[in-house]
Each structure stands twice: as structure tokens, then as C-alpha cells.
Amino acid sequence: MKIYDLLGIGFGPSNIALAISVDELRQRGHQLECFFIEKQTNFAWHRDMLLNDADMQISFLKDLATLRNPRSHFTFTNYLFEKGRLQDFINLKTFFPSRQEFNDYLAWAASHFENDCAYNEEVVEVLPEKKDSDVTLLRVISRDSTGNIRERLTRNLVVSIGGTPKIPVSFLSLENDPRIFHSSQYLSSITKLSHAKRIAIIGAGQSATEIFLDLHGRSSDVEIDLIMRGRAMHPSDDSPSVNEIFNTEFTDYMFSRTPEERTRLLKEFHHTNYAAPDIDQIENIFRILYNQKVTGVQRHTLITNHETREAQASDYGIRLRITDLETNLVQERDYDAVILATGYLRSHHKTILAPLAQYLPNFTVTRHYRLDSTPNFKPAIFVQGASETTHGISDSLLSVTAVRTHEIGEAIISIANIDFENSPKKHITA
């Protein structure tokens, strides 16, 4: 069986950026054979949140390559040039392209590596390949949509699978009810519920506000309750001073802190990324609610300082029992659909790597994103987007992607050079 130098699980922005970094390493003379496995049938970035009026919350300069190599073929600027839109984009006078355009940029970048990626395959297990007492390779097992199993061997592995939907406890028993769905399935799910007139959105972040505005514009007879634990919607803090926490240098600072200091930093800067929509989204929602007061026609309600403690499903709809967090008073409200804009968990890599857990103590991560391993475990496993507690809030964002993938690529080259120096074949030849 063919042995790859590197296998990547997932082919979203992080691993596309890694493919670009590896391509640059090849141009420098390093012969690395890599391959990626992606469960989607084709590339799409948050396809169910590609709303017509949604813009990026991050500068286009924090693309797949610019911060590492502004001369790269794969910069967003060169994408615009090749698409014939560079001058028009300049005339927009913005750092923030639409999410649809940035998705097209990512798809354009991914298209350069179609021969290096298997789409429509989901990795189901990663197993150790042993020689005596040492684990020397990894066997990556995937399954396609028809149920066929594929196995591949690799010397190194990079897991970049993004987040999995975070479902509140009160909704877990109803997870398979099509009338209740996570924001990550918004567009495909809402089109199947054209009859829904009373809709609840749970959450207070960017996804919640974008969905509210999209639903408001879809139909004049849809009524929406936006339910959140906080007393008010807080805008994201994107001032220049605060934005320095997304600089690549801040990763070093964050990693060098004690666990207690890291926790304090994450709490201090929580509203730069979580439950923090853009100010224009908040203003648009406030304007809609204000106009209701002017006209006397109330379609939508902002329910703050409340938490959903119980959800019940029947043939007639979804009944939520929501509790006022100040008075503990409970009210019941009925809906045709409930949308959970409740964020993501970033621990699924531990499930995929569970057969290797004995070699990966506590799944701790080094500064350069490699999982610590026991001495008898020779492959290197890297994770992308799962190290916020040690590397900072930028870890799951685009901010450091171009630099992070360069660090991973250089680490793999270093490992390959060490293996070559210690190989019996090298010493015989010498």
C-alpha cells in the first residue's frame, strides 16, 4: 500500500492553506506527497450560511497566504485579478468581501488541488501500524457515500475538521426532529419548512442576527422570537488595539502563559468573537423592532435574559419553556420551528483519534500544533482549529491560518529530515 508523507482529514480553509504551504515547500525542493480526505461532495464553506447580504468579519488580507507570502499565487488579491474583478473590488472601498465571494475564493484555491483530495469520503477511524513495540505509521480508514471502505497509510496526519454543532441540553432529546436544527443547517432546513410562521432563534451572536434578518426579509407574515441569555446584544469589539490579539505574534504570548492566565485572557476577549454580532446587524434589528412600535404591528420579539430549560415536540409544534434568569418566572411559547444559533464544539478530533488515545496523553498540543505522544509513537499528528485554550481565540479563525500552516509544514520537513538522517539506508550509502 502506498505510504503518504502527510494525510489531511478535512479540506476546508485550514487544510487548503496547508496544501498551499506544502506546494511552496515542493518549490523549494522538498519532496512531500500529501493527500486530503473531505466528507463533503465538493468544496463549500459553511454552505448553509451563505446568505445574500452576509459579509466577512475579517479582512481579506487574512486569506490563505498573504500573511505568510504576499507574493503567493493563492492570495485573495490574485484571485480577484484572475477573475477580472480587482479594479471593481478596489472601487468598493472595503476590507470585507461578501461571504459568497470569499467562499468562491476558497473554492478557486481548492480547485488547484483536486488530484490531491478525495471528496465524498468520511474518515471513520485512525489505527496504529506497529513494528515491534513502536507505532511507525497510521492507517486512515474512510467510507464513501455508497458504503465503500478505503484505507491509506501515512507517516504524518493533520486533523482539520472544524467544529461540530453545539446543541443545548434541553434540545438533545429532539435532535432528530426536522423542526429543530442548528444554524449550520439553516438554508437547507428552512426551505423544507415553508409553512413555518412562528420561529424561535436561540442565540445572540453573528449567526443568530444574520438568520433573524434573513427570515424577516423572506416573508411578511413570519413571526420571530430572538431568545438570548444576555440582557442585550453586544457588538464585536474590533478596535485596532483589541484586534492585536489576532496577530500571529499573540499566539506565542498566549502559549507562554500559565493556564490561569490563559483563562483570564480568553474571558477578557470573549466578546471579540462570541455572542458578538457586527454593530450594523444590531442596528438593523433595533430599527425593525422600533418600526413595529411606530406601526403598532408586532411581528418579532427580542426576549433577553431568558434561557430555554425544556423543549417538547408534538404534532402541533415545538413548545419551549423559557425561564427569566432574574425572577425565575417561567413562560411557555409555541413555535413551528426552532433554530439553534448556539455555536460549536471543537473536540471531535478526540473521537476520530480515540484508537490512538493511549499514545496521546491528554491530547495536549505543542506550540506548533503537534499532539504530544509517547516515545514509541513515531508519526506526527497535528490539529488545526482545536487549540483555543492554549493558542488563543484566533485558533479557530482565519487570522493565523496562513502562518500556522507554514509552521506545520516546516515541522513536517524537520521530522522528515531527522528520519532521513537516522535511516539505515542513508548510513549504508554514506
Q: Does the pLDDT at position 418 exceed 80?
A: no
At 372-381, the pLDDT tens digits run 999 999 999 9
Does residue 238 register a pLDDT over 90? no
Q: Could you tell me if 88 and 224 lie in one domain? A: no
CATH assignment of the domain containing 21: 3.50.50.60
394 and 357 in a single domain? The answer is yes
Residue 383 pairs with which residues in a beta bridge? Answer: 159
Mean pLDDT of 343-367: 96
Place of cell 504524518: 156
Are residue 182 and residue 129 in the same domain, yes or no? no
| Host domain of residue 176 | 167-236+273-340
Q: Do 38 and 153 belong to one domain?
A: yes
pTM exceeds cut of 0.85: yes
Judgement on whether residues 286 and 144 belong to the same structural domain of the protein: no
Based on the domain organization, do 334 and 369 belong to the same domain?
no
Q: Based on the domain organization, do 198 and 107 belong to the same domain?
A: no
In a domain, 255, yes or no: no
Residue 223 confidence (pLDDT) above 70: yes
- Judge whether 407 and 375 are in contact, CB under 8 Å: no
Q: Is 250 among the domain residues?
A: no
pLDDT of residue 395: 95
DSSP 20-34: HHHHHHHHTT----E
Judge whether 252 lies within some domain: no
Residue 253 included in any domain: no
Q: Report if residue 114 sits inside a domain.
A: yes
Region of residue 90 (left: phi > 0; alpha: psi -120 to 50; beta: else): alpha
Please identify, among 340, 362, 383, the residue that sits at the C-terminal boundary of a domain: 340
Is-contact 248 397, C-beta < 8 A? no
Mean pLDDT rounded to a whole number for the chain = 93
DSSP string, 356-416: GGGGSGGG-B-TTSBBP--TTB-SEEEESS--HHHH-GGGGSSTTHHHHHHHHHHHHHHHH
Structure confidence by residue, pLDDT tens digits, 69-127: 999 999 999 999 999 999 999 999 999 999 999 999 999 999 999 999 999 999 999 99
Same domain, 372 and 319: no
Q: Does residue 312 fall inside a structural domain?
A: yes
Is residue 369 within 8 A of residue 21, CB to CB? The reply is no
Q: Which of 322, 340, 358 is the last residue of a domain?
A: 340
Q: Which of 340, 372, 399 is the last residue of a domain?
A: 340
Residue 228 counted as domain residue: yes
Residues 355 and 421 in one domain: yes
Structural domain contains residue 213: yes
Confidence category of residue 423, pLDDT binned at 50, 70, 90: very low
- 153 and 177 both lie in a single domain: no
Q: Which three cell numbers stand for residue 225?
A: 422570537
Considering only 49-53, 174-178, 273-277, 418-422, which range has the smallest mean pLDDT? 418-422
**Same domain membership, residue 125 and residue 9:** yes
- Please tell me the total count of domains within the chain: 2
Task: Kindly state whether residues 159 and 32 are assigned to the same domain.
Answer: yes
